[in-house]
Every structure is written in structure tokens, then in C-alpha cells.
Amino acid sequence: MTLLNAVIFLPLLGFLIVMALPKEHHNAIRMFSLIASLAIFVVSLGVIGPVWSAAPGKFALETNQSWIQSPAINYHTGLDGISLWLVMLSTLLTPLCVLVSWKSIDKHIKQFYAFLLLLEFGLLGVFCALDFFLFFVFWEVSLVPMYFLIGIWGHERRIYAAVKFFVYTMAGSMLMLVAMIYLYIQAGTFDYSKILAGLQSGAISLSPTEQLWLFLGFFIAFAIKVPLFPLHTWLPDAHVEAPTAGSVMLASVMLKMGTYGLLRFSVPLFPNAARECAGWIVTLAIIGIVYGALVAMVQPNMKKLVAYSSVSHLGFVVLGIFSFTQQGFDGAVYQMLAHGVSTGALFLLVGFLYDRRHSLEISSYGGVATPAPWLSTAFMITMLASIGLPMLSNFIGEYLVLQGSSLVYFRWAVFAALGAILAACYMLWLYQRVFFGKASEDLTHHMPDLNFREHAIIIPLIVLMAWMGTYTQSFLPPISASNAVLLGPIDARREIHVRATPPSLTAPRLTAQPELALESKNAR
Amino acid sequence: MPVNFMPTGTDYLRILPEIIMTVAGTLIMLIEGWLGDDKKRNLAWLTFIAFAAALVAAVMANASPGSSFSNMLIVDGFATFFRVLVIAVGILSLLSAVQYLKQEHAESAEYYALLLFSVTGQCIMATANELIMIFIGLEISSIATYILAGYLRDDKRNNEAALKYFLLGSFATAFLLYGIAWIYGTTGSTNLAVIRNVLLSGGSDRNMILAGTAAALMFVGFAFKVSAAPFQIWAPDVYQGAPAPVTLFMSAGPKAVAFAVFLRVFMTAFAPITNRWEPLVWSSALLTMIIGNFAALMQTNIKRLLAYSSIAHAGYVMVAIAAHNQIGVAAAMFYLAAYALMNIGAFAVVTHFSRQGEKFVNIEDLAGLGWKQPVTAGLFAIFLLSLIGVPLTGGFFGKFYIFKAALDANLVWLAILGLLNSAVAAYYYLRVLVVMYMNEPGEATLSIQPVGAGIGTTLWVAAVGTLLLGIFPGLLLNFANNSSALVK
């Protein structure tokens, strides 16, 4: 029983306890959920040390126990630098989500908090699972509470959004299930580490066609979750209709399940297929970056705007991953976390506004800065972080991604940078329309400034944005170490599968001139 | 060698469950005459005791496996598995029927006797090692079930259901019998092992074609019983028309055991000509899944929805048969057990909810149940999630194992299409969840009574079973794996 298992299963315990509490005691339920989720966060702090000191390429706090004998399925969990911060993000955001729902959730309170804790259980499991079957179990388990959170406590079109969200993800994950079982039949195990080692050493051999289909099976499931253009259409619906806590968990953590899956499974397991598909995947990612930003710009609804900005930001993550460079990988992971913090904060702030005005339309605001200066300040910092202003979190991630992708193919970086510019346009314009100008009498009346609870929610995130933007050494080393190991055999600069490479450009020269080599590949 | 036709003690032990249930059923019919109308409820206890005793006997019989009565019956792990399953289904459907019969003022002894006879027939099918025994078991089970389907004889829908079930069922049984006649003509035997040996030893092409035709004819009979396409037409009408607890019973017991016989015949006797029937089962599996799932999308009646869902689930089991390997057999066994549990649970909720005269059977009627009766709705949600195939439920692991078997047999496309089908299925099950949790309570929900003891027990047993099978599938899977070798 490692500390990690305690972190994974405490939310489940919390869920069961909340379910057992009498439903009339609203405050007791809220207090319990808050204390429980805070306690889980505190416990989860303990996992940082072991991961930090673990040898690169090794998982810390591993548990590997037989769960089902035949087929051989193990309860195998562990943490490395890639999953560490995603786990921390989940445990940090859950208490904040409990707090933000304190007043705004007024019906079926017991079930709401129960589902929130169940969701945390699913998410933590996804990031810690090192067995494909276990991963799939958690992947699907996290779907159910989110479906209820959107469907029961959401806004008008909540049912449509919830069902769309569920069916979309389900369709993708079924393809992943086929790929997983196929891989199991080839490898004889569901164990991630064993399969990875087997594939890299050649003990498990897959034909190029098999690799391609398996890669696509996983890829579609992950791409739906990310979401990658053009599979993103469930996202705006789900975000707009979800309650604030649902939006936060969805944007900050759940979308990362997709990018995490790409980084952890798709790319390392099927590097050849990933490299072959990189061209069109990156194209889709860049389309997503620019398209997401452009669509965000014309949204009249704040939540929808933030949702489309997520499509844009997540495009950067995919771009980073499919650049197959150290910087790209590091940037991708960093961007996942930065996006989690900044977009989570944006959704929280939009939730604050909604609590006051009960509207998400930008047009029903204006001049909020006058009655609510603290709210406006918090929103401004968060918005600037989201744009990618230096000294704030997102800048690091975007910069690393752009650097990584420009190493491979300079034009990618140029197009992607467009997205960063557009981000400034839509965010600043949003800020201007909502916070500046003259406040109407009616608005001033209904716009108290942040109260203590809301300060408590937003300040930790703002501190984190500044911290992540200024002192990356607190976060980046374990990420880089783990990425380096993953990247080792598949580095962009080490050609392994470029059939069209002219004979004159042989391997030794490639190491010296990476750009050239990949250019020839893309010219194919 | 002189053959001794006198049955021994072991022979009797091996059919002890059937004996117990037949005796109890006959006794119930005899006793009924002496009992006043208000006492007939007590017969449910007698039925329960008979089922419990039969269950114990079935487990005991497993301790001395082997064949009996000149190889007509065989007790092996596979037979025990299905005997225990159908007896358990009998118990659960008894528990959920008691209250229903009371509210419909139809507490007569026949119900219990018919239930016992039907399960007896199913047990015979599970142990049958020979085509005539299969036929006899099937008839015992079916005739009792036909009558049960029309049990409330003043109810028009019951009558329609029974008549439809009877006419189409007889038609399908005729196909089965015709197939048996053909195979007897071709191989000179009705014993599964003998047929297998004859087919293995090869023969003229003409004989092989005859055997293939016989397999096809028998396939028609079995496909009807398991409601596989294109012989599924009867299922929605019958499931909708029959009394809810009978539908609960029909969708679990007879179906599971029909699959058992299907598996046993096709995996032993017809195993040598797999290449002839595999495409048939393959296409039927695909068609069944597609018809079941897509038709279910449009239903407004919950019984009809579950009927189409049961067709779709038959399609998943057909995938396991199409895989025609040992894992497929184990997967089918596991799935049928998981399916029986979750489906019984779902139909028990319907039985509880529909009230007198089955007034409330529309999906919309369930509106707000999640807040009015959170426990019932929560358990129903577990069954629905299991039917969707969400992990940590039996339904998921069963599906996982079936599609693993399919991929083992290289049926990649069937697996992909089947799993995509289950994403479609998510949509209509979710609709029920949506109505239960996301709509405001309506008339039906507001007037609901607390859950009775019988149905409550059924619900909890089914839910705990569903979750156990999902979290610790090894409990059942190891047994299924060990008894999936049908060729002795």
C-alpha cells in the first residue's frame, strides 16, 4: 500500500461516505467534501518527493498486483514526471470546485459532491494507471460522474450536451478497446512497461500496417478527448452547459487525459506510425489552434469563448508532442498544466460573474471593473496568463512548444504563433467588453466584489500562474527527465523511419542538420 | 459387451435437481385444490424451497461429473454452470413475481408450477448430450413459458404475446426437429459425440452438404430461441405483452440456456464443419447487434426498449460463438451470467414501477425517479451502466472478454463493428438515465409505493452480483474457463 494508492482511493472513500450521509444536512455534506478534498490534496503533496528523487525512466510509488488472473490484468500504478503534476492538478482543483459550488449548487447537493469526488477518483486513476486495462477502466469511470454533473446541474441544453459528451467519448474509447485487446493478444500482457520494453527491444513485433491501425485506434480515442479539430464539437456544448465545477474539471483535467494518452501511449508505443502520421496530425493541430482562436473571437457567450480557446491551447500541446523533440515534449506537458491552471481559473471567474448576473452573454456585462475591482484584477492576471504573457505560466509552455516545433519544421512554428497572437485579440477584447466602459445602474447593484470564499479559490491559482511563469525549476526537472527517457528512442533528430530520405543524407549527418532531414521527409 | 440399462445411484444424483423441481411442481398442482385463495401465496415458499434444494443438488451433482442414462445426459462444469444459472434466475423471478401476482389478483398455483417446470426443462437442456434430449428439454421449457407469457388471461396484450410466442416458437422448433432428422439421417445418431466422430472421419461431399444443411436448420431453431436476427421479430412484441415478471424470466433463463445448447451442439457435434457455419453465425451476430441497437433507439416503451436491448445483447453472445474457440465459450458463459443479472435487475425495476395493469411502462413515466426513490434508481443506474458496458460492472467485463475472443479468432471487423454498436447502445440507455435524473417527477413517480421485499431482494442481489462480476470477474471466470472445453 503506497501513498499513491491512498491518494487514488481516498476520493472513492469520500464518495461512499458522502453517499451515506443524510441528504438534508447540506452544510455537513459541503464541509465534509471540502475537508476530504483538502485532505486528499495534502496527502497528495507527499508523492512529489518520491517522484522527484526517482531515477529517470523509473516509476515512483509503483504498485503491481494481480487483479484478474486470466486474462492477466494487474493493478499496476505508478507516477513519473509526466503524470505527477497532472495528479497534483486534479487534487488541487477538486477542493476549489467544492468551494465554488458552495452557493451556486442548490439542488441535489449530496449527489453533486459525491459525483465530484467520484470524478476525482477516475481522473487520478487515469493518470496513475500503468496497465492498459486499468487505464481503460478509469478512463470510462471518469466519464460517468462527468455525465451526471453536466446533465443534472447544467444549464438549459444540459441533456443534449451530456449525452453528446458521453457518446462521443464512448465511440472513441471503443476503438481504443479494440486496439488494446489486439495489443494484448500480440504481447500477452496489458502491462505498459512490459509492452513498451517489448516493442523497443523487438521482442514484440508488429508489422507497419498493424502499427498504423493500432496507433489510429488509440489516437482517435485521445483526439476526441483532447479535442483535436475536427472532433472538437462536443466540447463547446459540454463546457457551456456544465456547471462551473464541471467546466473546470473538464477543461483543466479531463482534456489532459487525451494529451496525456498521446504522450504516454500513442507516441512511445508506435513511434513509426506516429512519425508517419505526424504531418497531418500537426496540420490538424495547427488548424485547431487558428480555428479555435478565430471562433473564440466571435463568441457572444463567455464560456463558449473560453471553450474554444481551449481547443486552441490544446492544439499547442498536440503540436509539441508531434514535434518529437525534448522542447516540444516539455512544452506540451508544461502547457497542459498551465492551461489547466489558467483556463480552470478563467472558468471559475466566469462562474463568479454568472453567480452575480445569471448570464453568460458578454453583452449583459460592461464596466464590471468599477464595482468589482478585485474580480477584475484577478480576471486580468488570469487572462494575461492565458494569452501567454511572459512571466506567467502559459508563456513557458507555448514558448517551448514553438521552439521544439521550429527545430523540426519552422513553418509549423510560424503558423502556430499566429494562434498566440489571435489569443491576445479575443482575450483582450473580451476583457474590454466585460470590464471596461460605464457600468449600468443595474449591473453595479448586482456586482459585489470577490468575497472571502472567492478569494480563497482564486488566489492559489494566481500564485501558481506566477510561480509557474517565473520559476520553472520547481516543476520542469522531473518532466524533462521523464520526457527524455520517452523520447530517447524516437527523437526527431534520430531518423528511424524515413523511407524517402535520399541516400546522401545518412544518419550521422542528420544529427547535425535536423531541419534538413525532416524537410526532406515532409517534401515527400 | 452387455449393456446395463438400469440407472445407478449416480445417475439419479445427476438428475436430482430436475427430479426435485418436477416433484415440487406436481405437488403444488395437487395441493392447490385444498388451499383457499388467500393461502396460495404460501406456495411461493414451497417453490422457493424446491429451487433452493435444486440449486444445492446441482452443485452436489457437479462433484461427480460424467454422463448418465446411456450417454443421454452429461454433467460437467458447463452443464452445472447453466443449471445453477437458470435455477438462480428461477429464484429471482419468483421473488419479483410474488408482489406482482398479488397486485394483479392472480395468485394461483399454476404460476409457481409452470415456473418450476420451465426451469426443469432448462436444466435438462443444460445437461443434454443428445439431440432428442435437447428437444425434450426445449419443449418442456418452452410450453411452460408460452403459458406464462399469457398468464393474465383477461389481458389482451398477454394473450397476444402468448399466441405470437407459441406460433412462432412452434414454427422454429419444427426447424430444429427437421435439422435433427437430417443429421440423424446423415450420421445415424443423435448423440453429439457420435455425430462429431462421424463428421470428423470425413465423408462424401454430399454427406457434408447434408450435415451443413442440418446445421443450418438447427441454427434457425436456436436463433429463434435466442432472438438472433433474422429470427428476432417475435421478441419485442412478446416481451412487451407478457407480464413484467415473466418477461424478466424469459429474457434471462430460457435465453441463457438456449445459448448453452447452441454452444454445446455447434462446438462439439458441428465443430468439424466450422467453416460451413461460421459465416452464418458471423453475419447473424452482426445483423442482430445492428437491428437490436438501432431499433432500440426509437422506443418509447421501456419493456420494448429492453426487448431490443436483449436482442442486441444476443448479438454480442453470437460474436462469442462466431469466434468458435474455447475463450469464446467461456466468454459467452460469463456474459450470459452477467447479462442475466443486469437484465433481471432492470426488469425488476420495471415490474416495481409499472404498477397495477402495467399502467406505467413508458420511459417518460420514470421522470424524476432518481430523486423520489434514490436507492431504486441508483440500482437501476448500475444495471443500465452495466448494459452500456461501463467498467467495474459485469456487463463491461463480459463484453471485453467476448471481443477478446473475437480478436483471438481474428474477427477484427466483427469486433470493431460490435464495439461501435455498443457506443450506439449507450445512447438509448442514457435516455433512461436522463429521464430518471434530469427530468422533473411526474404523476407516475409521485404516486410510487416503496419497494416490496421480494423485488428489493432481487434488486440488491442483482446489483451486488453485477458489481462483483465487474470488479472481481475471476470469481466466475476461472470456473467458466475451466469448464469451457466442451469436447471431452
pLDDT tens string A335-389: 999 999 999 999 999 998 888 888 888 888 888 888 888 989 999 999 999 988 8
Banded pLDDT at B3 (limits 50, 70, 90)? low
**Per-residue exposure over B136-163, b if at least 16 CB sit within 10 Å of its own CB, e if not:** bbbbbbbbbbbbbbbbbeebeebebbbe
Is residue A228 scored above 60 in pLDDT?
Answer: yes
Any residues with CB less than 8 A from the CB of A335 and at least 6 apart, and which? A313, A316, A317, A320, A394, A397, A398, A400, A401
- C-alpha cell recorded at residue A118: 467520484
Is residue A523 scored above 70 in pLDDT?
Answer: no
Query: Touching check for B294 and chain A: CB below 8 Å?
Result: no
Mean pLDDT along residues B55-71? 88
pLDDT tens string B360-382: 888 888 888 888 888 899 999 99
Mean pLDDT along residues A242-246? 89
Which residues in chain B have Cβ-Cβ distances shorter than 8 Å to A15? none
Is residue B257 scored above 90 in pLDDT?
Answer: yes
pLDDT at residue B255, rounded to an integer: 92
Closest-CA residue of chain A to B479? A70
Which of A120-134, A451-465, B210-224, B435-449 has the least mean pLDDT?
B435-449
One-letter amino acid of B239 = Y
Banded pLDDT at B2 (limits 50, 70, 90)? low
Is residue B346 scored above 50 in pLDDT?
Answer: yes
pLDDT at residue A371, rounded to an integer: 86
Query: Touching check for A182 and chain B: CB below 8 Å?
Result: yes
Mean pLDDT along residues A55-81? 85
> Using CA atoms, how far apart are residues B205 and B416, in angstroms rounded to an integer?
35
CB contact under 8 A, B404 and A181: yes
Any residues with CB less than 8 A from the CB of A436 and at least 6 apart, and which? A366, A367, A369
Banded pLDDT at A201 (limits 50, 70, 90)? confident
Which residues in chain B have Cβ-Cβ distances shorter than 8 Å to A158? 438
**Predicted model pTM:** 0.90
pLDDT tens string A178-197: 999 999 988 888 988 888 88
How many CB atoms within 10 Å of residue B478?
14
How many CB atoms within 10 Å of residue A128?
27
Reported as type and span, the H/E element at residue B68 is strand B66-68
How many CB atoms within 10 Å of residue B435?
22
pLDDT at residue A503, rounded to an integer: 42
pLDDT at residue A230, rounded to an integer: 86
CB contact under 8 A, B392 and A178: no
Complex prediction ipTM:
0.89
Mean pLDDT along residues B449-461? 89
Banded pLDDT at A94 (limits 50, 70, 90)? very high
Cα distances (angstroms) measured from residue B16 to each of B37, B84, B126? 31, 13, 14
**Average pLDDT over chain B, rounded to whole?**
89
Is residue A516 scored above 60 in pLDDT?
Answer: no
Banded pLDDT at A500 (limits 50, 70, 90)? very low
Cα angle for residues B269, B273, B278 (degrees, 5° grid)? 105
CB contact under 8 A, B477 and A178: no
CB contact under 8 A, A68 and B473: yes
Is residue A139 scored above 80 in pLDDT?
Answer: yes
Banded pLDDT at A59 (limits 50, 70, 90)? confident
pLDDT at residue B82, rounded to an integer: 93
Q: Where are the domains of chain A?
A: 277-487, 493-524
Is residue B134 scored above 90 in pLDDT?
Answer: yes
Mean pLDDT along residues B158-181? 91
- The interaxial angle of helices A452-470 and A373-387, nearest 10 deg, is 30
pLDDT at residue A54, rounded to an integer: 81
Closest residue by Cα to residue B224 from B290, B151, B138: B138
Which residues in chain B have Cβ-Cβ distances shorter than 8 Å to A140? 390-391, 396
pLDDT at residue A339, rounded to an integer: 92
Is residue A162 scored above 60 in pLDDT?
Answer: yes
pLDDT at residue B157, rounded to an integer: 87
Please state the φ and ψ torsions of residue B223, each to the nearest 5 degrees: -60, -35
Banded pLDDT at B21 (limits 50, 70, 90)? very high
Query: Touching check for B431 and chain A: CB below 8 Å?
Result: yes
pLDDT at residue B4, rounded to an integer: 66
Mean pLDDT along residues A128-140? 92
Query: Touching check for A71 and chain B: CB below 8 Å?
Result: yes
CB contact under 8 A, A181 and B403: yes
CB contact under 8 A, B407 and A182: yes
pLDDT tens string A261-317: 999 998 888 888 888 888 899 999 999 999 999 999 898 888 899 999 988 899 989
pLDDT at residue A103, rounded to an integer: 84
- C-alpha cell recorded at residue B254: 430460457
> Using CA atoms, how far apart are residues B435 and B384, in angstroms rounded to an integer?
13
Is residue B201 scored above 90 in pLDDT?
Answer: no
CB contact under 8 A, A108 and B371: yes
Is residue A446 scored above 90 in pLDDT?
Answer: no
Q: Answer yes or no: are the C-beta atoms of A116 and A145 closer than 8 Å.
A: yes
CB contact under 8 A, A181 and B478: no
Mean pLDDT along residues A246-274? 90
Give me the total of CB pairs closer than 8 Å, taking one residue from chain A and one from chain B: 85
Is residue B465 scored above 60 in pLDDT?
Answer: yes
Cα distances (angstroms) measured from residue A182 to each of A177, A185, A217, A277? 8, 5, 10, 20
Q: Answer yes or no: are the C-beta atoms of B253 and B119 closer than 8 Å.
A: yes
> Using CA atoms, how far apart are residues B14 and B54, in angstroms rounded to an integer?
11
pLDDT at residue A493, rounded to an integer: 52
Is residue A320 scored above 70 in pLDDT?
Answer: yes
Q: Which of B407, B431, B478 sits opposite A69 (nearest CB)?
A: B478
Q: Which of B426, B437, B473 sits opposite A166 (nearest CB)?
A: B426
Query: Touching check for B430 and chain A: CB below 8 Å?
Result: yes
Cα distances (angstroms) measured from residue B202 to each of A209, A510, B25, B179, B239? 38, 63, 46, 19, 43
Q: Where are the domains of chain B?
A: 14-482
